[in-house]
Amino acid sequence: AQSVTQLDSQVPVFEEAPVELRCNYSSSVSVYLFWYVQYPNQGLQLLLKYLSGSTLVKGINGFEAEFNKSQTSFHLRKPSVHISDTAEYFCAVSDPPSNTGKLIFGQGTTLQVKP
Amino acid sequence: GAGVSQSPSNKVTEKGKDVELRCDPISGHTALYWYRQSLGQGLEFLIYFQGNSAPDKSGLPSDRFSAERTGGSVSTLTIQRTQQEDSAVYLCASSLPTGGQGGYTFGSGTRLTVV
């Protein structure tokens, strides 16, 4: 069965600093990968997705992620964070990509941006 | 509507009571998913509907949980004889049939508290 591991439960960072949120997945087949963001008291919003092609994916709000098949990783990065980026971030993998679209989510990483 | 609508946004119920949670998906989205988000946990898949196909109920934690989708649109998640461990945020999402590629659109969730 597929699984997703987000290696950090909390990531504190100062405003304007770079950040990387780590995500590893386990799968024996090709996958689709997603990052979602959840702001307080809101639902999840799609940040970016990898389906195929270029391994560097750019998303909304200046975020990007790189798919690394050999390391089964899909880390999320932003070169300079803002206070408004404070939220919970979820990595997800489709299970499997060919049919239902059911997503398997990681445990989430809380990004805390400090002034 | 413009987004996925869930009601109520908050529900407090006594242990042992039944509750119904409602989800209105985006018009034209044939796929509908229910997830549960418990404090400090990731998102746990509950159930998935796709058009007229039999739902994937593999994530329902017990037979106290059930869900239906009427007319291929509105869905209701029912929890019978609620227990304190049922306290969580219940998230609904919808997508086009190619949900595995396009990702989901999530509602804002129903926060259920069982006292």
- Sequence-distant (6+) residues with CB within 8 A of B89 are B36, B37, B38, B109, B110, B111, B112
Q: What is the pLDDT of residue A16?
A: 97
Taking an 8 Å cut-off on Cβ atoms, the answer to whether A100 and B35 are in contact is: no
Chain A residues touching B8 at Cβ < 8 A: none
DSSP string for A34-46: EEEEE-TTS-EEE
Nearest by CB: B42 against A32, A97, A106: A106
> Which residues of chain B are within 8 Å of residue A99 when distances are taken between CB atoms?
100
**Which pLDDT does position B33 carry in this prediction?**
94
Best mutation target among B32, B92, B104, B111 (most A Cβ atoms within 10 Å) is B104
Mean pLDDT, chain B, whole residue set: 91
Nearest CA in chain A to B105: A45
Q: Do residues B82 and B69 lie in contact, with contact meaning Cβ atoms separated by under 8 Å?
A: no
Query: What are the tens digits of pLDDT across the range A36-79?
Result: 999 987 889 999 999 888 999 999 999 999 999 999 999 999 99
Average pLDDT, chain A: 90
With contact defined as beta carbons under 8 Å apart, do A55 and A65 qualify?
A: no
The yes-or-no verdict on residue A3 having pLDDT over 90 is: no
Least Cα separation, residue B6 to chain A (angstroms): 10
**Residue B97: per-residue pLDDT:** 74
Q: Give per-residue pLDDT as tens, B41-94.
A: 788 999 999 888 889 899 999 999 999 998 879 999 999 999 999 999 999 999
Asked whether residue A35 carries a pLDDT value surpassing 60, the answer given is yes
Task: Give φ, ψ of B84 to 5 degrees.
Answer: -60, -35
